Structure 1
């Protein structure tokens, strides 16, 4: 069911050149089926969005993990006076500590959260138009107390992300970034010394019968890779004394549904890349891609002796070359400063969190979430505190 707020003259703010606010109507849709047609209108070349906000990806999440966690869709769509789409906010609402919190759909699985924007609108939106948007959301019946906009990229495709400018604070983790120049030599993407080191390791694997790198394209290959992933991953996590975040059935179904989901262009919502031989699956990496950026998601690698030859790094090198040869200009491997990420990434993708209270109750909730995020960031930046946190996590997981 959709609820609408029309921005009447009293709510319209003058723009610097004298025109009225371009946002004429704000609808809130609370059903994925009802939202699908309008959502897909935002995924053309005139719009700005990350691959994590595609309908197919988030619909798979909502129908599995979202339903399991009790997250209710709260999809905000802004249009102009000619009913042209300007912005879509893919949110869900859930109750946390007595307050109704609106978060980006997708939970912990997207690296980046942001709205889907008409590109020209994102480049020229004014502060008063943003104020009008927030005011329209605030007027929605049964709405949230807080808008919790976390892990927002400050820029996307070299365009400032408007919602990341709203009194944001640095996210708990930043995201290492690999910048690639389209058409460059392979050694400009991955250094010659790193390539040489990985080639020496790979020679041990290349002697295995049936050794190959490939991208899963058929449903049969996708299901085969995921079957192997769900066997290997819990063993790999147990060896690291970490909880298996893929253990529950809702998460497994989301992963499988999103990997099998086909986009309008024929690609998969999540791509699976792998190295295997006749006797075993050696390494698997999942990624989302949009023609300019590819971002890795989940991964695992064998628990056999072949693990000592760094198959995960070898697979990443294959993936970087695969996308680089197709003209991609950047890559990231998720948040956090793991050593393997820094092997390839020499830059960071700055990300911010923004907590916007919409009610009196929301003011206290927003303050609490902001303070908690700040504290987590301090821990991550302090090696001694981080070591203590890791020791506590290991003790709890025993």
Structure 2
């Protein structure tokens, strides 16, 4: 018979045993606490404003679930709301800002403004968010289904990172499918030069010098962030025109064409605080000088919440200085100008584009919560999974993706 001797140094210490016991008790406590969480559904935002704004102060909660962002969307689209509020021990544990989108007899509960959101987290109290994987996912799912019964067929919460800046989402464990789109981020260091070191800094500086010379040869340029509301709104309308022309050239539908979306984005321009740590939308522009009568070569819209910047969109005038890559040049100006202003992360948002990969060393997968509420929702949820996985399969294969884009353009 063989025996093994356990080295005394390999045995857990009393401190380690105590910490493990405390950890198990905390996990058990959290699971038991789930039974005590009360979920209410609200069909208006106003009664929740104070609690909502208190939760969104957490730097890790997405801009897209902020009260002002959601207010701008609700004002423009006027869809029915089913905002989910969870309460535990007389404290607000979470708010999931949800609206009901109806199509072909199906009622889907989605994040407010989901169609124009680059990252969604929901709103969670810090203690609830830090609980992470200790939540009883089965009980949580059942409570969400019960809360939405009679209001929706399917709960579809899209574009959620399982982990965001070191914190695991409390939604982990709910039925999910990986979204076909990933997001791309550029972490900031104290100086622009340090930030560039994450990239191919030498080639990027060389490209910038070439672009600068070409722009100067064309008469010069101005990089502007207009300070007046009137000018900001004017630039947004110019963006709509440039983007419409771009979509038409590609044979693609214009996702900014409807009046509700345009009203929503115009509404975001006036959502800002005095500290400049939050603004719903801010227009940045690269404008040409002599010989071009102040025409705009490139334009973009960014948002900010805390230390997180999100690039919402961009467009170029394809008839002006195309050999300078004005969109890329505008990103250089914007990113370099944000250094020293408390920014930690520049987010290029969803969608795999060459320029994003050239700027962003961090790629973040996103997931969709797909939780059926009714029998009809079971079918719709299964369809969403199939379509999403199909799109992911195509996008992972460049040749197949290019072929699919060509078909889409021909169909229009």
Match of 1:277 in 2: 288
Bigger Rg over Cα: 2
Q: State the secondary structure of the residue aligned to 1:217.
A: coil
Q: State the secondary structure of the residue aligned to 1:185.
A: helix
* 1:364 equivalenced with 2:364 (yes/no): no
CA distance in 1, matches of 2:124, 2:226: 31
1:95-110 correspondence to structure 2 within 5 Å: 95-110=102-117
Pair 25,317 (structure 1): closer, same or farther in 2 beyond 3 Å: same
CA distance in 1, matches of 2:279, 2:342: 19
CA distance in 1, matches of 2:103, 2:352: 29
* 1:259 equivalenced with 2:274 (yes/no): no
Q: State the secondary structure of the residue aligned to 2:27.
A: coil
Query: Structure 1 unaligned runs (5+)?
Result: 1-13
CA contact (8 A) 1:294 1:323 kept: no
CA contact (8 A) 1:48 1:116 kept: no
CA distance in 1, matches of 2:126, 2:233: 36
Match of 2:33 in 1: 21
* 1:121 equivalenced with 2:128 (yes/no): yes
Match of 1:10 in 2: none
The number of residue pairs the alignment matches comes to 378
Q: How far apart are residue 315 of structure 1 and its match?
A: 0.9
Stretch of structure 1 that moved more, 232-241 or 177-186: 177-186
Match of 2:54 in 1: 41
Q: How far apart are residue 184 of structure 1 and its match?
A: 6.2
Match of 2:314 in 1: 299
Match of 2:229 in 1: 219
CA contact (8 A) 1:48 1:117 kept: no
CA contact (8 A) 1:153 1:350 kept: yes
CA distance in 1, matches of 2:174, 2:141: 11
Match of 1:149 in 2: 157
Aligned counterpart for 2:70 among listed residues 58, 61, 72: 58
Aligned counterpart for 2:324 among listed residues 300, 303, 309: 309
Deviation track 1:69-117 (CA, whole Å, cap 9, x = no partner) reads: xx311111112223x2211101111234433211111132111122111
* Cα root mean square deviation, aligned: 2.5
Q: How far apart are residue 130 of structure 1 and its match?
A: 4.3
* 1:188 equivalenced with 2:201 (yes/no): no
Query: Structure 2 unaligned runs (5+)?
Result: 1-24
CA distance in 1, matches of 2:381, 2:39: 23
Match of 2:6 in 1: none
* 1:198 equivalenced with 2:176 (yes/no): no
Q: How far apart are residue 291 of structure 1 and its match?
A: 2.9
CA contact (8 A) 1:137 1:143 kept: no
Q: How far apart are residue 283 of structure 1 and its match?
A: 1.2
Match of 2:369 in 1: 354
| TM-score between the two structures when normalised by the length of structure 2 | 0.84
CA contact (8 A) 1:48 1:118 kept: no
Pair 18,377 (structure 1): closer, same or farther in 2 beyond 3 Å: closer
CA distance in 2, matches of 1:375, 1:156: 26
CA distance in 1, matches of 2:399, 2:319: 33
Deviation track 1:281-326 (CA, whole Å, cap 9, x = no partner) reads: 2211111222332221111112333232111101111222223332
Q: State the secondary structure of the residue aligned to 1:166.
A: coil
CA distance in 1, matches of 2:357, 2:223: 23
